[in-house]
Amino acid sequence: MESNEILSLLAEHYKLKGSLIPLAGELDLNYKLTIDNETAFIVKISRDPETISSIAFQEALLRHLKEKEIEGEVPQLIPNLSGTYQKEVFLNGKKAILRVLQWVEGRLWSKTNPILSDLRYGLGNHLGNIAQNLQDFKHPFAQRSFEWNLSECLWVEQHLGLFTATELELVTPFITAFKTHQETYNQLPKSIIHNDANDHNIVVSQALIQPKIIGIIDYGDACYSQTINDLAVACTYGIMDTEDPLAASLPIVKGYHQANELSETAISHLYHLIGMRLVISLTKAAINKKSHPENKYLLVSEKPAWALLHKWWKINSKRAYYSFRKACGFKAHPNLAKFEQWGKANTFSLKTLFPSQKKQDTLHLDLSVSSLWIENEAAFNDLTYFQYKIERLQEANPHKIIAGGYLEPRPLYTSEDYDIQSNEGPISRCVHLGVDFWLPSKTPVHALLDGRVVMALDRKGEKEYGGFVVLEHQIDAMHFYTLYGHLDPESIAAHKVGDALKKDSLIGLLGNKENNGNWAPHLHFQILLDLLDYTEDFPGVQTYQEQDLWADLCPDPNLLFKSEELKPKLKPTTEDIMPFRKKHLGKSLSIQYQEPLQVVRGHGAYLIDQNGQKYLDTVNNVAHVGHEHPSVVKAGQQQMAVLNTNTRYLHPNLNKAAKAIIDTLPKGLEVVHFVNSGSEANELALRMAYTVTGGKEVIASEHGYHGNTNGTIGVSSYKFNGKGGQGKPKDTHLIPMPDAFRGKYRGENTGSLYAQEVHKTIASIQEQQKTLAGFIIEPIISCGGQVPLPNNFLALAYKAVRAAGGLCISDEVQTGCGRMGTHFWGFELYGVSPDIVTIGKPLGNGHPVAAVVCTQEVAQKFANGMEFFNTFGGNPVSCAIASETLNVVKKEKLQENANQVGSYLIQALKALQKDFPILKDVRGHGLFIGIELLSDQQNPLALETSYLANRMKDLGILMSTDGPDHNVLKIKPPMVFSFSQADRLLHGLRKVLKEDFLSVPKTL
Ligand SMILES: Cc1ncc(COP(=O)(O)O)c(C=O)c1O
């Protein structure tokens, strides 16, 4: 009814005809007018007297920006037939103003997912650009009094009665802070600002990956105010619904500052202004809730706004201020330069800190993620062993103090207290902000300078400081702090906050592991330029992501000591490694992920990069019992230290490993040949088949992969039919991949149809008077896309192959050693037993050891006189490792774990399919799972699969893709994968699957 009236007004005054769709709006009626499905306009009908009086101002503002030709879209007013930009009309008998504006094509920020840092940067930058170009725009209307103008925000005080006591706890501090800082705030530069960059006013490009800011619409709230307020508004909405709003605000601030420079004073107000903008919104919402309970739009942002205010209130305001400074390119702490200058001019001796020590030179101890000295988690958490190693190092270097650690990313902080939730998944606080001095317990620690005690307490608890002292120092009108951790609590008990401590006086004695948080004795010494309102603690490690901020707040203690040894040691970065690798390592080596990953440490189901970022590994079935499993590592280390040689000598390890393997296999499979890789195992299996049968013809599956040697490439259609492949060798015979989901025959009971293909192939080999050597296949075809074989297929196929005199080879390189959960070997899923089994990847838990196991008959016939000699295969070290890997599978019940966690994961993924229809098939057994992504028309979604894997990596979860169409996500984690890790994986998948690139319907 109303739309018809509007349509006729549009025809009358603008000669525009089309269809109208209503849009959300607070006071105006807004519509999208579309003409011939092409051109679009926004139609605004204003009846509110306040808006009407602002129309001329908005008109002038938009024209001003048009003349400036700024980058990005600024919606322009369309002239009506009388050549003006507004028309007084009557709608429903009431006076209103009709305006038509150009439609800014794109989608709204509120409808964009994910919102990542570069988009936030773009928002800040675009807004800064507008602000910069409005500096010289003046208009009398802009001076109006306006409740959304942050500089007038104290009107909210009249409405505090609308809030509950708990709500007031969040609201009041921001009002108080605003009043406290009002004097300097009033003096900040002012200009006309947009003042309403909320998520419904920011237009983003349609690109589903890396979208850009197109423009900001709706200048209805523009006013004359402190320029910084515009940024505060944009931040408020740009960080809504985020895990870490401060981190989310930084790219917005950075982008803004690049376009419109902020002063240090302006930055100092930003934190409180963001809080105050939320307070205005929430006060408005509370008022509106009372007076217009029916208007849902007015309430729409209330819930996330409270959640944000709560999070924002918890953030330390100084920390926010320093973070904003850093984002704008200033030193995070204003006193940093002064402190550095003072540090340069004053050198301190370690003898002052540790007068009982004769030595003052230092020896650097590397405790970084890639350090080999600290060994694995089992070793560094064994404090007796750690202490023993420190003592040995000290004995070897009696004249040096063992020290180091400033800005070192360390793997040592394994308690969950060190993990925090970032906007992209959990991250670890692991970058050390002080220097550690490794000296015996009871070593006295003395003051370097005159100071005043500001903290002295016992921080009890695992991996805590234990006895902990912070001193304040006042130097040249600048004050800073020194922190001493891991002291003996008794030795500091006499200190009281406020006590003066003279230079050279005793602070305390070093603690021992019983009283210092369970660390080997050492002093943690850190400099602080601000206490950030901490009164009983101060972090000694922070995240790599915030390293630059913290380095400015906690400068290098070596500024005081100036020791060459204590200078931060740089480790190779990805940029250091790549050029050499590209030039001097095999050109056909590939690298996983669009942004390559440098991993330097593994533990359990985690891989850790050089900066201490932990990645949950859902890919690596080689690290079968967990990355660097301590008992497997130990078995290898111990044997390596004693003897490693070849199989021409007797050694019990060889028998032990062979027996451990045979014990897991069905009767009959009982002769083992050790080799070094899966490829070598399959190469040997093929040679056995040739020798035993006298034939050369091998049947394999389409899309199979069995290794990188000439012989195995020849039976791997994944390779010879793939990029750079030479095509099928004449003695290889392919059957269609037995894929009941999307193969030649689909659905249940297709096993016999695929077995018929084996029959047909044998018949054709025999027709050519050739002899079948064997049939090689994986129980679940991994490179083919984690494809389980249809029921009954393998039994029928083996029968046919054996009837034709061929041998059956089960390639268990991926599927073996308990991964299937219900069974130890993949072939057992189908109730068959092969003649030859090849075992690779999991057997050595990362160490190159592989094996071929066959029947006595096959072994007998293969031993035709030619010696099988393998320099490395079956060496005592590899055998010790293989035995221990199989032992750990048993001891830690990892097959059962694969069954339980795998079934849970498969069920949960199937449930996920209901919400995300592109997940067309979930399949697998135990911890060997595939998810196939297809469009509604059953077309493979390779780009989407790759997007998913890459975004999961951003969330700290490693996944891989495979399948002939690159549209299958593979899950085959170390078998220690836990239920909670499965939940994290599911949570990540759900988050990414909701993102625009994956959630828009796939109709192709
Ligand atoms: C099923 C299968 N067989 C054999 C191999 C070859 O093993 P390797 O890389 O240890 O030579 C692989 C390797 O990915 C494989 O997946």
Structure confidence by residue, pLDDT tens digits, 898-918: 999 999 999 999 999 999 999
CA–centroid distance, residue 677 to ligand 1 (Å): 7
Show the tokens assigned to 232: 């505060």
Tokens 């009983």 found at: 536
Q: SS3 string of 754-794?
A: HHHHHHHHHHHHHHCCCCEEEEEECCEECCCCCEECCCCHH
706 lines ligand 1 (CB under 6 A): yes
Question: Which residue, chain included where needed, has tokens 């088949």?
Answer: 689
Q: Is the pLDDT of residue 956 over 70?
A: yes
Pairing of strands 599-603, 606-609: antiparallel
Section 205-220 average pLDDT: 95
Q: What is the pLDDT of residue 419?
A: 87
Q: How many CB atoms lie within 10 A of CB 594?
A: 10
The arithmetic mean of pLDDT across residues 639-667, rounded, is: 97
- If you measure from the C-alpha of residue 838 to the centroid of ligand 1, how many angstroms do you get, rounded to a whole number? 10
Ligand 1 neighbourhood includes 678 CB (under 6 angstroms)? yes
Phi-psi region of 504 (alpha: psi -120 to 50; beta: other; left: phi over 0): left
703: closest CA among 734, 675, 677?
A: 734
Computed on alpha carbons and rounded to an integer, the radius of gyration of the chain in Å comes to: 35
Q: Mapping DSSP to helix (H, G, I), strand (E, B) and coil, where does residue 705 land?
A: coil
Least confident of 224-228, 230-234, 381-385, 701-705: 381-385
pLDDT of residue 126: 98
Q: Sheet containing 107-108: give its strands across.
A: 107-108, 202-204, 213-216
Instruction: Give the pLDDT confidence score for residue 934 in this predicted structure.
Output: 97
Cα(826) to centroid(ligand 1), Å: 15
Q: Over 70: is that where the pLDDT of 1001 sits?
A: no
The distance of Cα 665 from the centroid of its chain, to the nearest Å, equals: 40
Q: Is the CB of 681 under 6 A from ligand 1?
A: no
> Given the DSSP bridges, would you call strands 807-811 and 787-788 parallel, antiparallel or unpaired?
unpaired
* Phi (first) and psi of residue 390, to 5 degrees: -60, -45
Residues 136-148 have pLDDT tens digits of 999 999 999 999 9
In this predicted structure, the answer to whether residue 840 has a pLDDT above a threshold of 60 is yes
Comparing 21-25, 108-112, 202-206, 481-485, which segment has the lowest mean pLDDT? 21-25
916 and 933 in contact (C-beta within 8 Å)? no
Cα–Cα distance for residue pair 781/793, rounded to 1 Å: 13
- pLDDT for residue 973 is more than 90: yes
> How large is the average pLDDT for residues 821-830?
98
CA-angle at 223, arms to 220 and 229, nearest 5°? 110
Mutate to test the pocket of ligand 1, among 589, 619, 675, 705 (most ligand atoms within 8 A of CB): 705
Does the structure show a pLDDT above 90 at 534?
A: yes
The CA distance from 876 to 872, in Å, is 9
Please tell me the distance from the alpha carbon of residue 856 to that of residue 609, in angstroms, as a whole number. Answer: 47
Distance separating alpha carbons of residues 767 and 733, to the nearest angstrom: 13
Q: What's the sign of the alpha-carbon dihedral 733, 971, 839, 759?
A: negative
β-bridge partners, 780: 788
Which structure tokens are listed for 654? Answer: 């060889």
Shortest CA distance to 824 belongs to which of 879, 903, 907, 894?
894
| CA-proximal residue: ligand 1, atom 14 (nearest) | 707
Average pLDDT, the chain: 95
| Pocket lining: 838 vs ligand 1, CB cutoff 6 Å | no
Tell me how far apart the 2 most distant CA atoms of the chain are, in Å. 107
| Type and span of the H or E element at 711 | helix 710-713
Distance (Å) from CA 815 to ligand 1 centroid: 11
The Å distance, Cα 727 to ligand 1 centre, comes to 20
Closest by CA to 247, choosing from 376, 379, 391, 121, is 121
Mean pLDDT, range 714-721, rounded to an integer: 97
The CA 692 to ligand 1 mean position distance, Å, reads 23
How far apart are the C-alpha atoms of 566 and 570, rounded to whole Å?
12
Q: Which of 828, 826, 831, 827 is nearest to 815 (CA)?
A: 826
Mean pLDDT of 989-1001: 92
Exposure letters 250-261 (e unless 16+ CB within 10 A, then b): bbbbbbbbebbe
Tokens, residue 358? 């004769």
What lies within 8 Å, CB to CB, of 707 at 6+ separation is 677, 678, 679, 680, 681, 682, 683, 713, 716
User: Looking up tokens 């094996």, which residue turns up?
Assistant: 851
The CA 706 to ligand 1 mean position distance, Å, reads: 5
Using DSSP's 3-state secondary structure scheme, residue 924 falls into strand
The rounded Å distance from CA 99 to ligand 1 centre is 68
Amino acid residing at 358? K
Distance (Å) from CA 679 to ligand 1 centroid: 6
For ligand 1, atom 8, the nearest C-alpha belongs to: 678
Residue 705 CB–ligand 1 contact under 6 Å: yes
Cβ–ligand 1 distance for 718 under 6 Å, the answer no
Order of strands across the sheet that contains 29-35: 19-23, 29-35, 39-46, 94-102, 87-91
pLDDT higher at 443 or 38? 443
Q: 876 in ligand 1 pocket by Cβ < 6 Å? A: no
**477 pLDDT more than 90:** no
Distance CA 839, CA 624 (A): 13
Whether the CB-CB separation of 103 and 32 falls below 8 Å is answered with yes
707 CB near ligand 1 (under 6 Å): yes
- Does any ligand 1 atom lie closer than 6 A to the CB of residue 842? no
> From atom 13 of ligand 1, which residue's Cα is the shortest distance away?
707
d(CA 435, CA 377): 21
Query: pTM to 2 decimals?
Result: 0.95
Q: Is the CB of 411 under 6 A from ligand 1?
A: no
Choice from 676, 677, 718, 813 to test ligand 1 binding pocket (greatest atom count within 8 A of CB): 813
Question: Do 565 and 364 contact (CB within 8 A), yes or no?
Answer: yes
708 in contact with ligand 1, CB cutoff 6 A: yes
Distance of CA 873 to the CA centre of its chain: 39
Nearest to 779 by CA among 739, 830, 822, 740: 830
| Token pair in block for residue 810 | 């089960």
- Paired tokens of 55: 């129309």
Q: Are 303 and 286 in contact (CB under 8 A)?
A: no
Give the model's pLDDT for residue 890. Answer: 98
Say yes or no to pLDDT of 301 above 90.
no
Mean pLDDT of 602-615: 95
480-501 mean pLDDT = 98
Please check the confidence at residue 422 and state whether its pLDDT lies above 80: yes
pLDDT tens, residue by residue, 333-368: 999 999 999 999 999 999 999 999 988 899 999 999
Contacts of 649 (CB under 8 A, 6+ apart): none
- Which among 755, 758, 764, 701 is positioned nearest to 728, based on CA atoms? 701
The predicted structure's pLDDT at residue 568: 82
- Taking the CB of residue 88, how many other CB atoms lie within 10 A of it? 10
Measure the CA–CA gap between 623 and 974, rounded to whole angstroms. 6
pLDDT at 299 over 80: no
Residue 989 CA to ligand 1 centre (angstroms): 28
- From 789, 814, 843, the mutation candidate for ligand 1 (largest count of ligand atoms within 8 A of CB) is 814
Secondary structure of residue 324 in the 3-state scheme: helix
Ligand 1 atom nearest to 778, measured from its CA: 1
Can you tell me which atom of ligand 1 is nearest the CA of 848?
A: 10
Q: Which of 853, 772, 844, 846 is nearest to 811 (CA)?
A: 853
Question: Residue 783 Cα, ligand 1 centroid: separation in angstroms?
Answer: 10
The one-letter amino acid code at 80 reads N
- Kindly give the number of the ligand 1 atom that is closest to the alpha carbon of 682: 4
pLDDT surpassing 90 at residue 632? yes
DSSP code of residue 682: H
The phi and psi torsions of 972 (rounded to 5 degrees) equal -155, 65
**Mean pLDDT (whole number) for 265-283:** 98
β-bridge pairing 732-735 and 697-701: parallel
Closest CA relative to residue 309, chosen from 180, 436, 174, 162: 174
Q: How confident is the model at residue 1003 (pLDDT cuts 50, 70, 90)?
A: low
pLDDT band at 719 (very low <50, low <70, confident <90, very high): very high
**Is 80 exceeded by the pLDDT of residue 1002?**
no
Closest atom of ligand 1 to 707 CA is 6
Ligand 1, atom 3: closest residue by C-alpha: 706
552-560 mean pLDDT: 98
* Look-up of token digits 């009506």: 80
Cβ(778) – ligand 1 distance below 6 Å: yes
Ligand 1 atom with the smallest distance to the CA of 677 is 10
State CA 930 to chain mean position distance.
22
Burial call 338-359: b when 16+ CB within 10 Å, e when fewer = bbeebbeeeebebebbbeeeeb
Beta carbons within 10 angstroms of residue 41's beta carbon: 22
- Establish whether residue 703 lines the binding site of ligand 1, counting it when its CB lies within 6 angstroms of any ligand atom: no
The CA distance from 130 to 136, in Å, is 11
Ligand 1 center to 705 CA (angstroms)? 7
Is the shortest distance between the CB of 682 and ligand 1 below 6 Å? yes
What's the pLDDT at 769? 97
CA of residue 493 to ligand 1 center, whole Å: 62
Contact yes or no for 315/246 (Cβ under 8 A): yes
- Residue whose CA lies nearest to ligand 1 atom number 4: 706
Q: Which atom number of ligand 1 is nearest to the Cα of residue 708?
A: 11
CB distance 617 to ligand 1 below 6 Å = no
Asked if residues 819 and 927 have their Cβ atoms less than 8 Å apart, the reply is: yes
The CA 741 to ligand 1 mean position distance, Å, reads: 24
Look at residue 15 and give its three-state secondary structure: coil
Task: Give the span between the Cα atoms of 747 and 760, in whole angstroms.
Answer: 21
CA 680 to ligand 1: nearest atom: 11
The residues pairing with 102 across neighbouring beta strands, listed in sequence order, are 41
- Tell me how crowded residue 143 is: count the other CB atoms within 10 A of its CB: 13
Has residue 919 got a pLDDT over 80?
yes
Mean pLDDT score, 574-603: 91
To test the pocket of ligand 1, the residue of 619, 679, 680 to mutate (highest count of ligand atoms within 8 Å of its CB) is 679
Q: What does the DSSP 8-state code read for residue 684?
A: H
Q: Which atom of ligand 1 is nearest to the CA of 850?
A: 10
Tokens encoding 568: 């931060």
Q: How far is the CA of 625 from the centre of ligand 1 (A)?
A: 18
CA–CA distance, 473 with 954 (Å, rounded to integer): 42
CA 524 to ligand 1 center in whole angstroms: 48
Mean pLDDT (whole number) for 734-753: 97
Q: Does 814 sit in the ligand 1 pocket, CB within 6 Å?
A: yes
Q: Which of 28-37, 103-112, 881-890 has the lowest mean pLDDT?
A: 28-37
CB-based contacts of 488-493 (< 8 A; 24+ apart in sequence): 488/441, 488/442, 488/512, 488/515, 488/516, 489/458, 489/515, 490/515, 491/467, 492/456, 492/458, 492/467, 492/468
Question: What is the crossing angle of helices 894-915 and 876-891, to 10°?
Answer: 70
- Cα of 623 from ligand 1 centre, angstroms: 14
